[in-house]
Amino acid sequence: EDFVVVGSDTRLSQGFSIFTRDLPKTYKLTTSTVLGACGFHGDVLTLTKVLNARLKMFEHEHHKKMTTSEIAAMLSTMLYHRRFFPYYVYNLIAGLDEEGKGVVYSFDPVGSYGSDGYRARGSAAAMLQPLLDNQIGLKNQQNVQRVSLSKEKVVNLVKDVFISAAERDIYTGDAVVVHVITKDGTTTERFPLRRD
Q: Contact residues for another protein (CB under 8 A)? A: 46, 49-50, 53-54, 57, 76-86, 88, 106, 108-114, 116, 125-126
Least separation, in Å, of the C-beta of 112 and another protein? Answer: 4
Least separation, in Å, of the C-beta of 106 and another protein? Answer: 8
**Residue 123 or 186: which CB sits closer to another protein?**
123
**Residue 18 or 109: which CB sits closer to another protein?**
109
Least separation, in Å, of the C-beta of 139 and another protein? Answer: 9
Characterize the bridge pairing of strands 175-182 and 4-9.
Answer: antiparallel
Least separation, in Å, of the C-beta of 122 and another protein? Answer: 12
Beta strands across the sheet bearing 33-39: 26-30, 33-39, 89-96, 102-107, 113-116
DSSP line for 118-164: ----STTHHHHHHHHHHHTS-TT-SS----PPPHHHHHHHHHHHHHH
**Residue 77 or 196: which CB sits closer to another protein?**
77
Beta-bridge partner residues of 104: 94, 116
